[in-house]
Amino acid sequence: MSCLQGTLPICCLASNIVLAPERMGTATTPLLSVALRAIDKRSNTLWAEGSGLMRVFKNKPFARFARKARIADAVLCAAIADASRGLIDADLGGGVVKQRIARQGGGKSGGFRTIILLRHGERAFFVHGFAKNEQDNIRDDELAAFKLLAAEMMAYEDEALARAIANGTLMEVICND
C-alpha cells in the first residue's frame, strides 16, 4: 500500500479504489476514487475528482470582516477543504452552510462563524462572518436571503464572475499552502 504524494492522507489499494482514513472510522471500507477530494499541491487549488476545480470567492463585506478579524485566505481554503471532505458544521439548506473558523491562537468553539454559499466540487462564496461572542446565530430572514443569494450566485456564468471580480464585488481566494 502506497500513499499519494501531494494530497490529503489517502492511501491506494488499487488503481481505482482508495481508503480515506478520516471517513473510515474503525472500519476499513474502500471508497471509489470518484469520491476522492484533495488539495492539488501542484496548482494550489481545491479539487474534487470528476468535478474539476473548486473556485473559492469572498464578497466585499466578508473580505472587510476577514481583514479586521485577521483571517488569512489559507484559513478560508482550509474551511472549504473541510467542507469538501464532508466536515460541515451546519448545512442550512439551499446551498448555504455555516462553518466555524478558529481565532488566531484559539479554538473553533469561541471563534468565528462563516456563512458559505457552496456547491460541492464547483464554487464556494464566503458571504458573511461573525464572532460567536457578538452574534449567536443568523435570523430566519437572513437565512432566506442567503438561500436566494445562493441560487443567484450559483447561476453565474464565468463571464459574470469575471465582471464581479473586475469591479471589486467579488475577490477570488487563491489557495496556497
Which tens digits make up the pLDDT trace of 137-176?
899 999 999 999 999 999 999 999 999 999 999 999 988 6
Q: Give the pLDDT confidence score for residue 32 in this predicted structure.
A: 28
Low-confidence stretches of the chain (pLDDT beneath 70):
1-52, 105-109, 176-177
**Within 10 A of 47 (CB to CB), how many other CB atoms are there?**
20
Q: Give the pLDDT confidence score for residue 151 in this predicted structure.
A: 95
Q: Give the pLDDT confidence score for residue 111 in this predicted structure.
A: 83
Q: Give the pLDDT confidence score for residue 61 in this predicted structure.
A: 95
Q: Give the pLDDT confidence score for residue 107 in this predicted structure.
A: 65
pTM here is 0.70
